[in-house]
Amino acid sequence: MTTALGRPEKEGYLLVEFRYGDNFAPTYARYTDWGQDTAGHTSTEGLEAEVPDNGGTLGEKEARVTLPMDAFTTRASDGLPHSPIWLKVTEITAGLFPGDASHQLVTFNGRVERTIRNYEGANNSVAFFALPIKSKLDVPLGLQCNHTCILSLFRNGCGNKRAESSHRVFGEIAAIDGQEITVVANAGLTAPSSPGGNVDRYWERGFLQKDGLQIGVRIWSISDPSVFVLRRRPPSDWLLAGVGSIRFVPGCHKTIEDCRDVWDNEENFSGLGYGMLAYNPLFENPAGSV
């Protein structure tokens, strides 16, 4: 069989796919620069794509895809938190003669890191910038030696690894005022329980999750349990999204007191050390007296 790549006469086009939302039931936005819709991808005038060379280095070389404004691109670039967006760019080489087999090559696969509206003065457009997975390998290895616990609540090493399902609560947001939200009355949220008994700051350092997007809880107190102050303003579509639409997961302050009083998990506390004192405790006194 003759392939399109083997012919001097051929034509090509791009398929651009964005994947986001729930990991188990993702949502897709698909575009192509072909003159007509194809393979579930919408023909889009003005689509531009630049992908980095697939070399052997681990540098942060971004791919860029520019698209006109539509429902997806507007939401993805409105400045509010969005669930992780994954980008795949596929190059199709098609033959001009009957019987020529098309060739398909995935030229980029990575995660969108940022978006810019009206990039380089192009009105009513959004530029998506993405990095491949290998560009995220520059991370520190080893364990930190701190007086706070190095483990994440409900994750590997923590004695509460399998307990998240026992402590998470599904609720609904009744009002949004910047980073502050008010939840619909729900005893699971406003009157939680913990293995250690102390729930004064139960939801702090936890998070809210919907459609793959997590937003951390910065402030919560049992004295005003229906109010949560988040680390970022939630998207507008989180408001009154339905009973049980938002997953609330508690947090841990990673102190020995939290491990003991809230989670009754002191035997698994993994604070590996204490910070160096600013003075020599053998012959110096922080108050200045010997």
**pLDDT tens digits for 173-200?**
999 999 999 999 899 999 999 999 999 9
Domains delineated in the chain: 4-136 (2.40.10), 140-290 (no CATH)
Query: Tens of pLDDT along 26-66?
Result: 999 999 999 899 989 999 999 999 998 877 777 788 999 99
Higher pLDDT pick, 170 / 140: 170
pLDDT averaged over the chain?
A: 88
The answer to whether residue 155 scores a pLDDT higher than 80 is yes
pLDDT at 5 over 60: no
Q: What is the pLDDT of residue 290?
A: 47
* Cα–Cα–Cα angle for 153, 159, 165, rounded to 5 degrees: 60
Range in 91-100, 115-124, 139-148 with the lowest mean pLDDT = 91-100
Rounded Cα–Cα distance for residues 20 and 170 (Å)? 21
* Cβ atoms of 204 and 253 closer than 8 Å: yes
DSSP 142-196: S----SS--SPTTSTTSTTTT-HHHH-EEE-EEEEETTEEEEPP-HHHHS---SS
CA–CA separation, 92 and 179 (whole Å): 44
Range 68-73 average pLDDT: 96
At residue 289 the predicted structure's pLDDT band, cuts being 50, 70 and 90, is low
The Cβ of residue 18 has, within 10 Å, a number of other Cβ atoms equal to: 22
Q: What is the pLDDT of residue 101?
A: 66
What is the Rg, in whole angstroms, of the alpha carbon atoms belonging to the chain? Answer: 25
Selection from 180, 250, 249, 162 nearest residue 209 by Cα: 249
Q: Does pLDDT of 114 surpass 60?
A: yes
Distance linking the first and last C-alpha atoms of the chain = 91
Q: What percent of the chain has pLDDT over 90?
A: 62
pTM of the complete model? 0.82
- Cβ neighbors of 166 (< 8 A, separation 6 or more) are none
Instruction: Convert the pLDDT of each residue in 55-65 to its tens digit.
Output: 777 778 899 99
Q: What is the pLDDT of residue 146?
A: 80
Q: What is the mean pLDDT of residues 264-277?
A: 80
Q: What's the distance, CA 13 to chain centroid?
A: 30
